[in-house]
Structure 1
Amino acid sequence: MTLKPLMETTRFHDLLCDGKLTRRDAHRVMATYGIGTLTVHTLGGSALAQEADDEHPIFFTWGGYDEPEFMVHYTAKYGREPNYNFFASEDEAFAKMWGGYEPHVTYPCGPSLKLWFDAGLLAPIETDRLSNWPDVMQVFKDVPHSVVDGVRVYVPEDWGQTSMVIRTDLAPEYADPANQTWEALWNEKYSGRLSISNHAYEAFAIAALVLGITPWDMNEAERIQCEDLLRKQMPLNRGLESSFTERGQAVAAGELIIAVSDNGLVAELAAHAEGTGFEFAWATPREGALTWHCGLCIHPAAIKDGFYEKAHEIIDSFISPEAGAYEIGNWYYGHSNVNSYEGFDEELLNSIGQTSKVVDFLATAQFQQTMNEPVVLANRW
């Protein structure tokens, strides 16, 4: 199977403007098409409202992370927000910095950390400068590659999961969480009404978990095992729906019974279910859900340019409980600060694939890391 474009760019723009894509979907689509400027004009909340100021650091990040609610503490201290620049994919961000661009604070996700550190793009972070650091959950403090040789280079901020949405009224055997497993994607009983991820790294990771293989450091023999297992699964799919909207509509209509998605789909399905009364579950597979996380790093240029203190202030603002509550309530992403969940009704959190018992919830999480030979996986997909 060859990788195909996720959707036409005009359709992408319409869905984005209508709010029908999760931000993670938007990031994926923009990465596919190399769209960077759209982030400023479509997702940006405050970057267009202020001029660049040489007295403030440059925050190089995904579109949307310039919304003022993330920077309340920084703004209260300095009277304005930092300067912003945006990327549409981490590959784009890496290439730009590798080519000499020097921002002061960046926003990578877990799988990029080792690459960025090895390239000399990450400076030490002093956690005693971060007032909100004690409230960051330990599970996030311990994510791979966040500390190198005893030096912290990454502070996690948000997270989400890739799992399955299951129409439990149509597949009642999976209503009990104890029975929820990635193996459901190979259940021939539901042939033609399944949909695995259309991303190679996720599909291979799911197959690896089913086989009891650690996804992130597979050898060639293990990759072949996963490839063989995926070859058995592919004929069972209705299709590999590429957009958030398509997946949601297909599950709501019963055309899909089990579909891989991130937790942003849960709120969309809950809205559909209110009108039609169907039942679904956000699965907690016994092998562990794939859990992504993203966060903040300081570029060495922050030290050179005298922005080291303000770089820490940006990080501290992002990991504040206020910023976290905003992201949970408006973006439906999780947050690394445990206090961010206070005040949220459990039913509301469940409706968006979250929970107030977040520490227990993450106990079986499979945090995504860089996979061995990602190009090989993509070519075999």
Structure 2
Amino acid sequence: MTRLTTLMGTAALALASTTAFAADPDLLVFDWSGYEEEGFFINYAEKHGSGPTYAFFGEEEEAFQKLRSGFKADVAHPCSQSVDKWFQAGLIEPWDLSKIPTYETLADIYKTDPTFVRDGEVYFIPADLGMTGIAYNADEVTAEQVSSLQIFLDPEMAGRVSLPDNVDDAYALAYLATGTSDWTKATEEDFKKASDWLRQAHANNRAYWADGAELAQLMATGEVLVAWSWNETPVQMVGDGYNIAFEREAAEGSSSWFCGYVNLVDGPGSEDKAHDFIESFLSQETADYIVNEWGYGHSNTAAMSGFGEETLTEVGLNEISAPQLAQLPMDTSLREQMIKEFERIKAGF
């Protein structure tokens, strides 16, 4: 696979003619590291002369606690399973869809989910989606070795695997490995089995990675041979010349996720610019960039329909026959247990 940095179509032209943007003081976006890249706000920058100002978080619970403690931003980027918690805490307010016409391109399932849409008001706009599977060094590890998620418990891999420092991704792996592919139906017994498995995987873990760039560094040095990874990392590492493969069809399966943007209560900046930012993110230009450069999918269904099967397969967005755990909103009390238990596991308990 060659790196998809040719940036096909309009995104290529826009990026080629764009220099680095100074940060817009009227819009503060609280986001995952990496989303400050210019390809995510091409139209916004063309309209306002610069990209937004960014602040970053490494994990959604960290973001939640920071916002609860008084940190102010205008827009934030949680994933689907955090939305109800943020709503219940009074952190988010509705979007004005009259200012976001491209919202109409989203799939109906997003527009009707009661976690995202309450009393006709939209609190969460899905924006990006991806897959989590086994990234592995194909020079050192065979396809047969990664045919099961139990490779994360293999004594021969002690100190050569890496797990995400993210409760949802880590538990998606553990649930799949212990036979649960729908965590919205998980029982206390399922949770206990997943936690016990994750505790065993922790004993093999070289390091918990916080973002794709950190994982890429661990794999580039050869320190880590196998990782539970977003599809971003293998796409970008292959583009950089590393022989990193991505296995989504292990016997127990892999997971999928989607994230989006929320409008934070009492944001210090411009509401109009917050809406311009979302409209820009939902554009064809951003879809071109996120698929071709990052290997992620986009919530604009019209834009995604233009990508061929070859491209989607190349970046790991194709349909698979193995089980797939969708990281959908789940029972809030169970997720709170996951958060607490994951911290204990990482601490060695």
Q: Which has the higher contact order (CA 8 A, sep 6+)?
A: 2
- 1:93–1:225: structure 2 CA closer, same or farther, 3 Å change rule? closer
Alignment-derived partner of residue 289 in structure 1? 254
Alignment-derived partner of residue 41 in structure 1? none
Question: Residue 296 of structure 1 aligns to which amino acid in structure 2?
Answer: Y
CA contact (8 A) 2:28 2:269 kept: no
More helix by share: 1
* Per-residue deviation, 1:232: 5.1
Of all paired residues, the percent bearing the same amino acid is 25
* Residues 1:250 and 2:216 aligned together: no
* Per-residue deviation, 1:295: 1.6
Instruction: Give CA-to-partner distance per residue, 1:322-355, whole Å, 9 cap, x none.
Output: 1121222233332212344466565454343334
Alignment-derived partner of residue 123 in structure 1? 93
* Per-residue deviation, 1:263: 1.1
Instruction: Give CA-to-partner distance per residue, 1:51-70, whole Å, 9 cap, x none.
Output: x3xxx554444455444443
TM-score normalised over the length of structure 1: 0.64
- 1:219–1:102: structure 2 CA closer, same or farther, 3 Å change rule? same
RMSD between superposed Cα atoms in Å: 4.2
Alignment-derived partner of residue 80 in structure 1? 49
Question: Residue 146 of structure 1 aligns to which amino acid in structure 2?
Answer: F
* Residues 1:132 and 2:132 aligned together: no
Distance, in Å, in 1 between the alignment partners of 2:97 and 2:86 is 20
Alignment-derived partner of residue 160 in structure 1? 130
Distance, in Å, in 2 between the alignment partners of 1:322 and 1:349 is 17
Distance, in Å, in 1 between the alignment partners of 2:70 and 2:120 is 27
CA contact (8 A) 1:58 1:85 kept: yes
* Per-residue deviation, 1:136: 2.2
Distance, in Å, in 1 between the alignment partners of 2:325 and 2:312 is 18
More strand by share: 2
SS in 1 for 2:317: coil
Question: Residue 86 of structure 1 aligns to which amino acid in structure 2?
Answer: A
Question: Which deviates more from structure 2 when the two are superposed, residues 211-220 or residues 319-328?
Answer: 211-220
Residues 257-296 of structure 1: pairs in structure 2 closer than 5 A: 258-268=226-236, 270-271=238-239, 280-285=245-250, 287-296=252-261
Question: Residue 147 of structure 1 aligns to which amino acid in structure 2?
Answer: V
SS in 1 for 2:55: strand
- 1:105–1:363: structure 2 CA closer, same or farther, 3 Å change rule? farther
* Residues 1:372 and 2:339 aligned together: no
* Per-residue deviation, 1:164: 0.9
Distance, in Å, in 1 between the alignment partners of 2:166 and 2:33 is 24
TM-score normalised over the length of structure 2: 0.69
CA contact (8 A) 1:131 1:316 kept: yes
> Aligned match of 1:208 in 170, 175, 181?
175
* Residues 1:195 and 2:141 aligned together: no
Instruction: Give CA-to-partner distance per residue, 1:182-225, whole Å, 9 cap, x none.
Output: 3454567x655973625373443322223334546756544332
SS in 1 for 2:115: coil
Instruction: Give CA-to-partner distance per residue, 1:265-293, whole Å, 9 cap, x none.
Output: 32255357x68xx7944323465423333
Alignment-derived partner of residue 338 in structure 1? 301
Alignment-derived partner of residue 274 in structure 2? 311
Distance, in Å, in 2 between the alignment partners of 1:167 and 1:150 is 48
Question: Which deviates more from structure 2 when the two are superposed, residues 145-154 or residues 193-202?
Answer: 193-202
Structure 2 residue ranges without an equivalent (≥5): 1-18, 210-214
Alignment-derived partner of residue 75 in structure 2? 105
CA contact (8 A) 2:92 2:123 kept: yes
* Residues 1:321 and 2:284 aligned together: yes
Distance, in Å, in 2 between the alignment partners of 1:218 and 1:320 is 36
- 1:107–1:91: structure 2 CA closer, same or farther, 3 Å change rule? same
* Per-residue deviation, 1:249: 4.7
Question: Residue 336 of structure 1 aligns to which amino acid in structure 2?
Answer: S
Question: Residue 298 of structure 1 aligns to which amino acid in structure 2?
Answer: N
Distance, in Å, in 2 between the alignment partners of 1:181 and 1:156 is 31
Distance, in Å, in 1 between the alignment partners of 2:87 and 2:49 is 30
Structure 1 residue ranges without an equivalent (≥5): 1-43
- 1:322–1:198: structure 2 CA closer, same or farther, 3 Å change rule? closer
SS in 2 for 1:103: coil
SS in 1 for 2:131: strand
* Per-residue deviation, 1:117: 0.9
* Per-residue deviation, 1:123: 1.1
